[in-house]
Structure formats: C-alpha cells, structure tokens
Amino acid sequence: MDRKIVKTIKGVAASDGDGVKLTRIIGVPELDMLDPFLMLDSFASDNPGDYIGGFPEHPHRGFETVTYMIAGKMRHKDNAGHEGVIEAGGVQWMTAGRGILHSEMPEQTEGLLHGFQLWVNLPAKDKMLPPAYQEFSASEIPVEAFEGGTVRVVSGTSGAGTLGAVQGTATNPLYLDVTLDGVFTQSIPTTHSGFFYVIEGDIAGVPAGHAGILGEGDAVALPGVGRFLLIAGEKLNEPVARGGPFVMNTRAEILQAFDDYRSNRF
C-alpha cells in the first residue's frame, strides 16, 4: 500500500548556536517530533552574517546528529580529539551516545552555506554507548540513476538495491537525496515513520521549503520536478524526556546528564 501525504509542514524561521539563522521543520509546535526524528533544521544563506557565528562547543547525549551539506563547508571538532570538514555533498552521522562536546563552525567567510541537521533518537539500550562517527565525502555516497532523475543514497537501500554509505545505525534509517523530473518510487518498511522535504521545485503538490509527512504503508510514489530529501526511520515507541541538548527516557536521566556535564564527565 502506497503511503499518502497526511500533513504538510512549512518550516519555521529560527536561530541556534551563535545566531545562525535557520528553518526548523521538525521540532516545532505543529510537529514536535516524528518518532524517531526529534528535529530537522535547514540552513541556507549566502549572507555570512546569517551563519558565520556557527555552533560553538556544546554537549549532546542520547541521540544522533546527521549533518548533510548541499553547499559550503562546515568544520567539526570534539573533546575526544576528532576533527574534520564536511564539504558539499558530504555527510557526518554522529552517535552522541553517553556524551560528547563538539563544535560546528563554517569553514568559509563568504558564499552560500546550505545544509541540514537531523536529530535521530536512540533506543534506551543505546543511549549510553560510547560516541561514534560515520563520515563520507560526496564521492563516497552512491549515486543511482533512474528514469526521470538521480538519487544519492546516504543511508538505507534504494528501490534498485543500492546500499547507502551510512550503515549499522540503530533505527535502520533511509536517507535519500533525490533529483526528479517524473515519478520516484521507493519501498519503506511499515515499521518506519517517513517524510520528505522539498529543497527545490514541487513534489507531489508540496512546494519548496515544506515537508510532506507520510502516512502508513510500505511504499511511496512521488511525482514532480525538483529536488528533495526522503527520510524514514524505525519507530522506537519509547518515552522521550528532553532537556536542551540531552534526550533520554526519563526526567531523572536528564537531570543526571546535566550533572555529568557540569561535573566534566563527558
């Protein structure tokens, strides 16, 4: 059964980090979360004043952050000695686990910076695992051509069987970057929540800057002309307790996270 669009969400203007202007799609009053997805931000500007402050050092615990760049460069650095630059077309899938301190700063002072950050919840059994990374450059992400377009397979498996670069993550996610002039079809497990975000053009009647939330089913068929992200992940169906940069299952665990952070135990 094909999944239908059950809701259309328009991104809300927001800011984060040191004044970075962005659009928040998930994590807003209209859509607080879409299990297992906690937040989706889009940042896109060619005005350095909108992004130059970046995201100075901050903590995370209990979930994953996925940074996917469309244009520009972002340098990341953490308190475990890990450092690198995510360039256009590249992805960093960071599992914060039991705790990490990191920064994400633009590696440019002019030009277009465009990308996305997705927060993916972790199941209770994985929330206190050691932090881990998967990073891939644009050339390392498989690209598959189909009649009517191309798809970059960041995570999951395409309809034609192309395996994504990111593997082994807890919620068995699907993360596709699709350029389309026609119809795109993709199977999605019935255990997964799913949505798509339109970067350019119009996809299935959803315009750029909007997300289409998908209902139940085992596949989706999306007609249109443009570019979009198609994202899905296995529902955890677990309690969610949030405290800023920490996402756990209980309030007591959130309080412990703040205590550990203040006590330099990250």
Cβ density class 138-154: b for 16+ within 10 Å, e for less: eeebeebebeebebbbb
**Token pair belonging to 231:** 């994202």
- pLDDT (0 to 100) of residue 80: 82
**Token pair belonging to 208:** 């750029």
- pLDDT (0 to 100) of residue 108: 85
Average pLDDT over residues 106-125: 94
**pLDDT tier for residue 194 given thresholds of 50, 70 and 90:** very high
Average pLDDT over residues 192-208: 98
Strands laid side by side in the 74-78 sheet: 55-60, 100-106, 74-78, 83-86
Domains, the chain? 5-262 (2.60.120.10)
User: CA 111 → CA 22, 49, 55, 170, distances in Å?
Assistant: 16, 11, 18, 36
Give the number of other Cβ atoms within 10 Å of residue 229's Cβ: 22
pLDDT in tens, 142-190: 999 999 999 999 999 999 999 999 999 999 999 999 999 999 999 999 9
pLDDT > 70 in the chain, percent: 100
User: Does pLDDT of 136 surpass 90?
Assistant: yes
**Which H or E element spans position 157?**
none
**Token pair belonging to 145:** 């051509």
User: Does pLDDT of 242 surpass 90?
Assistant: yes
| 173 phi and psi angles, rounded to 5 deg | -75, 155
User: Does pLDDT of 109 surpass 90?
Assistant: no
- pLDDT (0 to 100) of residue 3: 97
Average pLDDT over residues 31-51: 95
User: Does pLDDT of 1 surpass 90?
Assistant: no
Query: Do residues 61 and 17 make contact, with C-beta atoms less than 8 angstroms apart?
Result: no
**pLDDT tier for residue 9 given thresholds of 50, 70 and 90:** very high
Long-range contacts, 5-9 (Cβ 8 Å, 24+): 5/204, 5/205, 5/206, 5/212, 5/213, 5/214, 5/215, 6/213, 6/214, 6/215, 7/31, 7/212, 7/213, 8/206, 8/210, 8/211, 8/212, 8/213, 9/210, 9/211, 9/212, 9/213
Average pLDDT over the chain, rounded to whole?
95
